[in-house]
Chain A
């Protein structure tokens, strides 16, 4: 009925659930009291014993009951909302803690965007689960039995008849659910995707028109809509049966209760007040159950959303140390027989040796899949769980507190992100205390000053999602400026220039060179020409460190490095020819 794990999560918020259910129960009690009042009045009217003072006496009682009911309803809904909000907030916090303290190792099945979608969308889907479904489960367990109890006081046979009808409701839901199982969710998804396609096709209409695909797509869309409509109507035919059955049970059941009441009354076992009360309350007995039934799909969506969340939360934890990395002016990183595997079986890095120290610009090259990025994640302190040794100033990485490492190590990659905020806020992300002048100076260092001057909003210019209103080169240079403001001792650049134009690349490479004067700079490169002048180049091939040295020594050896350079030179040839052309024409 209730997902145990989700319910367990709400431990600290159960007070609100209790208040909500209690108020819902009180509200039902007040309702029953007013029904009793009506039954009494009707009885005296029917028996011809009525007098005006009866009614006048009843009015304030009724008003008091109505007032009380409004109050309890308000508390009920507010408490339910609080419960739901608290529950979701706790889930969100858990998730945030998990991912802000942990590197998600399994990047394949949990991409950053999926994580974000699950966090934002998935948790919201639980709103109705906590806010409506769970309180209703408890209310349903309490209210119908109370009604039964009240009617039972007047006559137990009537109560028994009503009880006998109850199992029919879940039973019928179950049967029909089984019939429509699997189909409903599939078709719901089809329905949603129909809407998404429509939106997408309007967004991309310019593209479609340029390539004259608009008519084809339009026709396709109409066909899909029609196909979907015919099939969903078929499914609906099955599903709507549950409405018929449920309504038949609710009202047929009430009828049975009333009929039983009439028989009992005719035999003198039930007085008139009781009989009228049966008439007024028999439907009320079934309604909470019916409402709960209509919330089942809410429960289903909630639980399936939660499953994905729990998968996230259950990901194995990285083991971090607690030792603090002390700040000095000079750092030395050494790796000795360093090996790493994500899953314990497939080796990503195998017995790697390398060293780097402040004042050096070190390059890591290799084809994609060679383990470069994993090495970057180890050195930046995100990943642990390696074998062998990886030290910084003699401290073993696995013993270090990651936050103290992050204070010294700055990382920038091709998937670093900007935030939907002002330019100022994005830059201050690097250093919250920086003055505007320092921010502008940082922009100047990455050659964004002239671009900045064209912005009418200045530092208050708002960037759209992940710098959507910037070009690739501008975005990466801005991220670089942000990193410079953070002023780290060790800089890691992981393919930071892979989506930027030639001019931006040149500027960024210059900044890296300048940084290496007094800092330690490690560059993971996708282009050989960009690291030709590095102090030392390490070449990775399928997880192994196959070569190391300067460009001059490596190029004279037969090996992976030479192959990579030659491959690139083949591409480069044309560019050089063109650049010569250009010189000639000027």
Chain B
């Protein structure tokens, strides 16, 4: 609980400069909400005048109503406008903060086993916090303000009415939303889970529809689709019913408490304490002020997850990186050699994957690294890239310990292609330019040719400007891998690090790419991690990684 509150405080600080705007939004909301009971009180005033035979000042009543209607509209506008302003500002700010944190924590953080989940949680969390800050705090403030003001108004008419009002606002604004939350918490998550599964099932089935057809499994998969559809539909109906039951409870509560005012009013009037018109005022004032309080019913669900989201995001922002990047220090301009001395390494609390590794790669060397998957060969490469620091021993570049080398300079020297190379939903050209934003069109085209993609790209209607996402499954895994590799060709690196560069590429393409790499980086150094002999054939020496140890095999 304390962690939650401190996280929320930190978050409020983060959103700090936006607080006045947020308060203004809530203020506008309260004014616009209060103008509604005011309109009806004016109506009641008209009735009272009429009833007691006073001359009806119709135009002032009607004029007043119109003014109040205008106030209502104008302040609704400012409420919404400032609310949106806060929301968009906050969203941008949170994304900025989280991205800053992730930049600090990557790549180690993204290498972890559940990183996919982390990424989707973080994006979801940001939206939750945004909803909390921009669409929850406001309504709560409005609800509280309106309830307070109206309780005072009712109290002024008669304390009994004030007490009924207070009880009503507490019930409608607090008790019912909390019950609502309790009800929906599990159901809601369950339904979102099933909905997510259903979405994936549909994607899966409709993507594979041709195979389903060819294998005569139409009925089977239609059945699967229908079963899940029914399950989801059942949940949806239950959830909808629940939500509406509680909303109905709120409305009924409103009518019930209105009735309570009439009941108390009857007693007060018949015992001569109040005149009838006071009861009219009280009933109308209460009845017309309920909307912002009832609106709180729909909020409850977002609150608790938003707190959890606050905790997670603040934790992420404050988390210490696995590797502290060096902003200053030795700035190597060329690559001389890399040396691992008695290096031990294990991920987090898992057993050591590298044990007492000695390894040396000199300028101009082309070394291959083989071994079964999980043997630690990729890990060795990542130590050289300083994704991680070794548990024991030292990694040295040009004779300097890695920790003292400016990380940016290290990245200039090293050019790497990793296993799960990521393609962005940008144009093909922009994806290649990730390797070097200043690459000319010609250089980009040459790079594409070197990975044997040029022909394919030229056949596309928009050529190099085609967005990767639009290609969808028309871009095969092999082509994706080759596209990511093209990034290396537009970049001048001294040490090329390749992790399974050709795992999804056929023999001829593999050969072409490796030869092109040889030509492009002639005289430069290279380390290729691969379990395939064909890829290792391009190297001068091959080491095998076995049970955390390194053995020269060629």
Contact = CB atoms under 8 A, between A and B. Distances in A.
A501 B110 contact: no
B76 A233 contact: no
Interface in B199-224: 199-218, 220-222
Nearest to A203: B119
B452 to A, nearest CB: 9
Smallest CB-CB A-B distances: 8 pairs = A255-B65, A472-B504, A204-B422, A113-B472, A251-B69, A120-B202, A499-B478, A244-B73
Interface in A228-261: 228-229, 232-233, 236-237, 240-241, 243-248, 250-252, 254-256, 258-259
Given A45-B262, A472-B503, 5 more contacts: A46-B279, A69-B252, A499-B506, A505-B507, A571-B512
A406 interface: yes
Contacts of A99: 206, 209
A50 B69 contact: no
B153 interface: no
Majority secondary structure, B binding face: helix
Nearest to A377: B210
Given A70-B245, A486-B215, A501-B505, A198 B46 contact: no
Contacts of B245: 70, 73-74
B39 A251 contact: yes
B244 A240 contact: no
Nearest to A413: B210
Interface in A195-227: 195-196, 198-216, 218, 221-222, 225-226
Contact of B107 (A209, A256, A582): A209
Interface size class of A (residues with CB under 8 A): 35 or more
A164 interface: no
Interface string A67-108: 001100110111011100100010011011001110100000
A481 B552 CA distance: 37
A407 B32 CA distance: 69
B365 interface: no
Given A116-B203, A251-B68, A209 B92 contact: no
Given A500-B506, A585-B554, A247 B76 contact: yes
Contacts of A575: 507-508, 511
Contact of B77 (A112, A244, A276, A414): A244
A1 interface: no
A70 B435 contact: no
A437 interface: no
Most interface-central of B68, B88, B267, B512 (chain A CB within 10 A):
B88
Contacts of B256: 62, 66
A10 to B, nearest CB: 15
Contacts of B473: 111-113, 415
B215 A236 contact: no
Nearest to A255: B65
Interface stretch (A52-60, A150-158, A175-183, A547-555): A52-60
B96 interface: yes
A80 B239 CA distance: 13
B68 A266 contact: no
B206 A119 contact: yes
Interface stretch (A34-42, A138-146, A326-334, A388-396): A34-42
Interface in A409-445: 409-411, 414-420, 429-430, 432
Contact of B47 (A51, A85, A279, A505): A279
Contacts of A339: none
A406 B233 CA distance: 34
8 contacts: A89-B233, A100-B213, A206-B106, A212-B412, A215-B103, A382-B210, A501-B534, A581-B537
A123 B205 CA distance: 15
Contact of B233 (A85, A198, A471, A505): A85
B36 A251 contact: yes
A23 to B, nearest CB: 11
Contacts of B243: 77
A194 B33 CA distance: 33
A9 interface: no
A430 B215 contact: yes
B39 A255 contact: yes
Given A78-B241, A81-B233, A116-B207, A47 B487 contact: no
A517 interface: no
B56 interface: yes
Contacts of B42: 255
A47 B276 contact: yes
B284 A582 contact: no
Contact of A247 (B72, B214, B474): B72
Given A70-B249, A82-B237, A62 B255 contact: yes
Contacts of A582: 533, 537
A263 interface: yes
Contacts of B40: 279
Given A48-B269, A119-B206, A210-B411, A406 B225 contact: no
Contacts of A225: 91-92, 95-96
A114 interface: yes
A580 to B, nearest CB: 10
A73 B324 CA distance: 59
B508 A572 contact: yes
Given A382-B210, A498-B476, A209 B103 contact: yes
A73 B244 contact: yes
Given A100-B212, A206-B106, A243 B233 contact: no
